[in-house]
Structure 1
Amino acid sequence: MSTETAVTPPIVKTRKDLRGFWRILLAVLAPLPMLGMGLAYILSPVDGGVSFEDTVAAYTGHLDQVRLTQYLGLPFLVLLIPATFAVVWVSRRGAPRLTTAGAILALLGQLAGFPLNQGGDLLAYATAKHHLDLATMTTLQTKLEEDPIALLGGLLFIVGIVFGLLLLGVALWRSKAAPAVFGILLAIGGFTHPFMPGHVAAGLGLLVTAAGYAGASLALLRMSNDQFDLPPL
């Protein structure tokens, strides 16, 4: 006489699907870095590229305004890399080669530029606010700018913005992930930004770039979770 043993089916743990969270998060943050920095440029009391002494003089009478521009620039420093990744993610299937080339240039420039390129904005602000010795702080800023590591970081960052975003804009356009106008805006905004005359024009150029990044937002909001990524195991 045989005895049958009941087999208990294995318990399968269902992992929470967070694809929708990541898709919406990337869509929301994609335009924020360039939008914030564009407004910061427009509201700045001084043009970029002027001497450290002139920057301190302009900051002295506008400390609150300068502080506001620094807060507006925070999304640029914190979120530009994931925002660029959002463009890469939506373009990678429709234009894999262009997206790869643009991603390498743009992300390399951003990853190198942020830690290596020591900008003088905070130094000028501290000098103006705390009445630090102008000659000493000017010498310090000059030495920081002339350091080979800072020069390399600045070069890589400019290459990433000018050529990396140009390629990503073309990739976004060619991928058909978003309407072509968004890719064109991203390409034009990134490529022309360093050559815009005056802080207002430079800021408007960054707003154009932000509109290009918004193309990735539109594409992410349009796609399903299955189009965005594979489900959890």
Structure 2
Amino acid sequence: MTQIPMQKATPTTHADIRPLWRWTAALILPIGPAAVALLRYFLPYNTTDDVPTIVNKIVGNLDRSSFVLWLGYIAFLTLVPGVYFVGRLTRRSTPWLTAVAVVLMIAGYLSLPWTAASDVFTWSAGTAGLDPASIAKAADVTHGSMNLAGFVFVIGHVFGTILLGIAMWRSHVGPRWAAIAVLVSQPIHFVAAVIVSSHTLDLVGWGLEAAGFAAVGWAILRMRDDEWQPLP
């Protein structure tokens, strides 16, 4: 009986994209918080203003408001990936704390575009030449989902960021100052947005989160590929 010789299987080789993946993470990490820091600084109104005042300030500063909307779009694209990349590291030492923090922050950040919809509407209506009184009347009528989105955003990003800062501290992801910067960033933002209405303090708050995330990005760049993602 003739035996058919068995051929050796040739192992399939794939390009190692882990260095590219690490660089992508490091570059994305600070972009979202930095965009929000600038957004909060250049915002033409205060968070505590009433609707007619907000409308008048947006309509009276259309170019500035357009710049703020662009910053918001950049933030929407990068905030959630940034949280994922930090959580990807902290979960190794603090899985449950990281899970709660990431769920809260992602829920908050995904709600952010819904809360910003009124600003887009106001800018569009103002650019179209509608009178501020009519715009304010329409903007003051909000859907219940928008109110819920605002609540989820506030709770999610404030408490989630505090927990993520604690997770960074416990897991030694990045330097200690970076964990502290992330931990205190959103309480500072809350004070600046709700209590004292200071755009400069808001810039500091979100800037601290951007700096803390940038430090994590630098730590990622210094990792070996196997530390970042072991091969199967």
Counterpart residue identity of residue 138, structure 2: L
What residue in structure 2 maps to residue 94 of structure 1? Answer: 93
Is 1:179 aligned with 2:175? yes
Counterpart residue identity of residue 139, structure 2: Q
Deviation per CA, 1:120-177: give whole Å up to 9, x if none: 2212222322221333322221222xx2211211111111111000000111111112
- 1:102-181 aligned at under 5 Å gives the runs 102-111=101-110, 113-114=111-112, 116-144=114-142, 147-181=143-177
Percent identity at matched positions? 26
Q: Is the 8 A contact 1:35 1:206 kept in 2?
A: yes
What is the CA distance between 1:109 and its match in structure 2?
2.1
What residue in structure 1 maps to residue 209 of structure 2? Answer: 209
Gaps of 5+ in 1: none
Deviation per CA, 1:6-25: give whole Å up to 9, x if none: 44211222122222222210
Partner Cα separation in structure 1 for residue 221 and residue 61 of structure 2: 40
Counterpart residue identity of residue 23, structure 1: R
Partner Cα separation in structure 1 for residue 148 and residue 53 of structure 2: 25
What residue in structure 2 maps to residue 76 of structure 1? Answer: 75
Partner Cα separation in structure 2 for residue 215 and residue 179 of structure 1: 7
What is the CA distance between 1:118 and its match in structure 2?
4.8
SS of residue paired to 1:132? coil
Partner Cα separation in structure 1 for residue 4 and residue 63 of structure 2: 78
Deviation per CA, 1:175-199: give whole Å up to 9, x if none: 1121111011001002331221222
Q: Is the 8 A contact 1:105 1:160 kept in 2?
A: yes
Name which of structure 1's ranges 57-66 and 197-206 shifts more when overlaid on structure 2: 57-66
Counterpart residue identity of residue 132, structure 1: L
SS of residue paired to 2:141? helix
What is the CA distance between 1:79 and its match in structure 2?
0.9
Partner Cα separation in structure 2 for residue 203 and residue 119 of structure 1: 22
Counterpart residue identity of residue 30, structure 1: L
- 1:15-30 aligned at under 5 Å gives the runs 15-30=14-29
- 1:30-41 aligned at under 5 Å gives the runs 30-41=29-40
Deviation per CA, 1:188-224: give whole Å up to 9, x if none: 0023312212222212211111112223212211211
Deviation per CA, 1:36-93: give whole Å up to 9, x if none: 1111221233222312322232233432222222222222111110011111012111
Aligned pair count reads 228
Q: Is the 8 A contact 2:76 2:109 kept in 1?
A: no
Partner Cα separation in structure 2 for residue 59 and residue 155 of structure 1: 23
Partner Cα separation in structure 1 for residue 58 and residue 102 of structure 2: 36
What residue in structure 1 maps to residue 50 of structure 2? Answer: 51
Partner Cα separation in structure 2 for residue 50 and residue 123 of structure 1: 17
Partner Cα separation in structure 2 for residue 164 and residue 118 of structure 1: 20
What is the alpha-carbon root mean square deviation over aligned residues?
2.1
Partner Cα separation in structure 2 for residue 75 and residue 142 of structure 1: 26
Counterpart residue identity of residue 89, structure 2: V
Partner Cα separation in structure 2 for residue 194 and residue 123 of structure 1: 25
Partner Cα separation in structure 1 for residue 39 and residue 107 of structure 2: 24
Gaps of 5+ in 2: none
Counterpart residue identity of residue 133, structure 1: D
